[in-house]
Structure 1
Amino acid sequence: MNIFINGNSLKAFTSGTPQRGLIKALCLLRSDDKFTVFVSMDAEALQLSDYWNSLRNINNVNIVSNLSSQRNINIKKLFGIKNYQSWPKGFDFYLSPGMPEYFNKKQQPSISTVADLSSINAPETSSLKWHGNRIFKNTLKWCMKSNSMIGAISNFTRDELIEKYPAQKELFFSLHNGIEDFWFDDKYETNELTNNYKTQNYWVWWGFGSNRKNLGRLLEAYSELKTENHPLPQLLLIGEIAANQLPVKDQINNSTCVELVPFQEALSLKELVRNSKGLLFPSLYEGFGLPIIETYSQGRPVLYGNCTSMPEVASEYGIPVDSLDVKSIKTGLLKMSQFEISKEYEELVKKYASQFTYQNAAQQLSKLIDQLSTQ
């Protein structure tokens, strides 16, 4: 079988990570098929050169540089031009992982997957600007009428799709994200930061601190408890705070118990998570919430927002809070401070996390490809 893959949907640096892992696992799983990845090799794509090279090293994968620039494609999408892209015909199957895509009648069967509908249902939490929001809305609308099936990275996102497009209910399915393979091995790396924190009592958070991550309320709750002399762990924030989150930066700078450090190499991050007392993750909106599973893979608990996909992904193993209520977050922090990480708990959450692999996601997608190809 000759399978087309929309490589432009793999270029998102962070949110594209599980889709890139899924596609690589799918190519390895279906070794008798031929995969052709079409991608606009712009600056965004070139940042992922290691990933494209890893695909090139798989015998059944060919990467084609798309002649249409991403900018020109987006302009056409923005102005409602449905035939915004001249995808080639003649493939046996068409895939667009992580991004809704329009495929015409000769480009079938087809599957697109969608991360979340935050730009539509919760625009205040979305990273998309007005033009990105319109592009997403247009493409999603066209996708509904042209794809054989449409995947969602969580049951929550699937249900959002059903609510918005009830007539297409039968098209939607859940395809849960996997996490990167290194979370499941026994390799760790130390550096000055990991050594400094190894003997300390601390909670951890990592990512890009946009509005949706709700760090302002988390830090407010944490600060109030410290002022009330509760013996809480230190708080280690790993990553970057969005430029428009100046109050959050001030909260960090004014605290002696909160430290912000840059993004860490993968195995050093894993070391920091393993040695922590757990993850604080009271987000306002998540399509999935990868850090929850990544933390569980290291046997550590999670405080999470009791909204969107997080209760589904965290299951019964974490501590839910009302993300909009500082008092609720304070109560959750006190529960986290008293949480006993037993050997039984570590084994339980590690086993739960072990199902969220790229290989499992690829096997599920592979079965759907076979089903649709024989209809």
Structure 2
Amino acid sequence: MKLIVNAIPFAGLETGITRYVRCLYQALGAELGVQVGYLGYHGLQPTMPQAADPDLWSRQTKRFWGLPQPLIAAINATQRLRLERLLRAGCRSVQPRIYHETDLIPPPRLPLPRVYTIHDLSLVNHRHLHPKERLWLFDLFFERRIRQVDHVITVSEFVRREIIRDLGLEPRRVTAIHEAPSARFFPRPAAEVGAMRRRMELPEDYILFVGTQEPRKNLPLLIRALALVKQPTALVLAGWSGWGDQAWRQLLEPLRLEQRVYTTGYVDEETLADLYSGARVTVYPSLYEGFGLPVLEAMACGSPVIAARAASLPEVAGDAAWLVDPQDPRDLAEALQGLLADPERRRDFAEAGKKRAARFSWQRCARETLRVFERVAARKQARRS
């Protein structure tokens, strides 16, 4: 099968959506023989792009976010329309059977079937968790395009139910296909973890959080819970600083936690696997997620996991994580205290987590995605005949 995929996620840091596109299309191309055209701001290319340089991207993005919000929204809308002109030209030149939209905005009208991956409905149901310019861009396109899409893929049954209920799409037009941890995530040897800690000047005992520091990640709750934990274990926050990340920082001084919280900034997957492998426990207290890849990544590396009892996280974690109320710092503190004080319990959760993570694979995700593409293309062809 020949198709075009929106590869714009590669223009940013390699976080959730970029990992989705990379891992899915590596499996589709290498194992299933799919011919892919990767759409970017310079048109189509036959090979998968490299993710952006983290330092350069961070500097440029922080400067860009310093512009007035209406100007940011106008620039983003202009770039989107330019991308769509390149998409139409690409469709004429390579004549694909499917266009796969992986970015936030539904695709435009095209002379071929369109499949749109929705990672979550936070821009619909949790608008306060996003900056205004993102909402403006989303509102400009979403409502008038979503019902024109031929099929929607989403990454959890939780989000599938939300889409059917809140967007009114027919159930037959929405398919949930789980993501998976990358093959790069597996338990790392103690010597490698120790070298990472020395390089990054981190303590031996630490609790780990992984994710962009933004409001829906619920970091203020984590900071308040840490203050209630008796053990003086450090907290390591791994991920880009994001937007709206000041609320948790403002708690450090009054709670006397300045010396217990470390930030690494964005880290690559090799470093991230070391961080997971060395953590006493990984905590993911998000208020809302469409999937929650860090939960499975941590499990694959042998880290016990505490996750919020919210949105998709119970579906992803199953019974292999300690689930807590994302509104109650005492509940999270009790879970942290319980695992930090009990090595045997940590081992039990770590073993359960490795088994849970092994149930998810990008190969399965690719096969199920290809079946959706083939079904949608065949249905479109039947209508034309």
**Could you tell me the TM-score, scaled by structure 2's length?**
0.77
State, as a whole percentage, how many aligned pairs show the same letter: 20
Q: How does 1:120-139 map to 2 (within 5 A)?
A: 120-126=124-130, 129-139=131-141
Aligned partner (choices 369, 373, 381) of residue 369 of structure 1:
373
- Report the count of equivalent residues: 343
Q: Look up the match of 2:291.
A: 288
Deviations 1:297-332 (A, max 9, x none): 012221111111111111111111211222222222
1:311 and 2:311 are equivalent in the alignment: no
CA distance in 2, matches of 1:262, 1:345: 27
Residue in structure 2 matched with residue 360 of structure 1 by the alignment? 364
Q: Per the alignment, in what secondary structure is the counterpart of residue 371 of structure 2? A: helix
1:205 to 191, 202, 209: 209
Quote the residue 1:5 is aligned against: 5
Match of 1:169 in 2: 171
Give the superposed CA RMSD: 3.3
Cα 1:279–1:73 shift into 2, 3 Å: closer
Name structure 1 gaps, 5 residues minimum: 53-69
CA distance in 2, matches of 1:202, 1:236: 6
Paired residue for 1:37? 38
| In structure 2, C-alpha distance between the alignment counterparts of 1:276 and 1:333, rounded to whole Å | 12
Q: Give 4+ residue runs of structure 1 displaced > 6 Å after superposition.
A: 70-73, 82-85, 196-199
Q: Is the 8 A contact 1:189 1:268 kept in 2?
A: no
Give the corresponding residue for 1:112: 116
Please give the alpha-carbon distance, in whole angstroms, between the structure 2 residues aligned to 1:118 and 1:296: 25
Preserved CA contact (<8 Å) 1:191 1:268:
no
Q: Which residue of 2 aligns with 1:95?
A: 100
* Aligned-partner Cα distance in 2 for 1:374–1:232: 60
Deviations 1:244-279 (A, max 9, x none): 433422444642332223333422321221122111
**More off after superposition, 241-250 vs 303-312:** 241-250
Name the residue aligned to 1:299: 302
Shift of 1:232: 5.0
Greater per-residue helix proportion: 2
Deviation at 1:185, TM superposition (A): 7.6
**Residues 103 and 143 in structure 1, CA contact (< 8 A), matched pair in contact too:** yes
Whether the 8 Å contact between 1:252 and 1:259 is mirrored in structure 2 is no
- Shift of residue 9, structure 1, vs aligned partner: 5.1
Q: Which residue of 2 aligns with 1:245?
A: 245
Tell me the secondary structure at the aligned position of residue 50 of structure 1.
coil
User: CA offsets per residue over residues 116-164 of structure 1, 9 Å max, x none?
Assistant: 11122112223xx323213324433344322221011112211111111
Aligned pair in 2 of structure 1 residues 191, 239: CA closer, same or farther (>3 Å)? farther
Q: Structure 1 residues 238, 104: closer, same or farther in 2, change over 3 A? A: closer
Where in structure 2 are there 5+ consecutive unaligned residues?
53-72, 380-385
TM-score in terms of structure 1 length: 0.79
Q: What is the one-letter code of the residue matched to 1:180? A: S
Shift of 1:183: 0.7
Per-residue deviation, 1:96? 1.4
Q: Please say if residues 77 and 135 of structure 1, whose CA atoms lie closer than 8 Å, have aligned partners that are also in contact.
A: no
| CA distance in structure 1 between the partners assigned to 2:126 and 2:216 by the alignment | 10
Whole-angstrom CA distance in 1 between matches of 2:171 and 2:243: 39
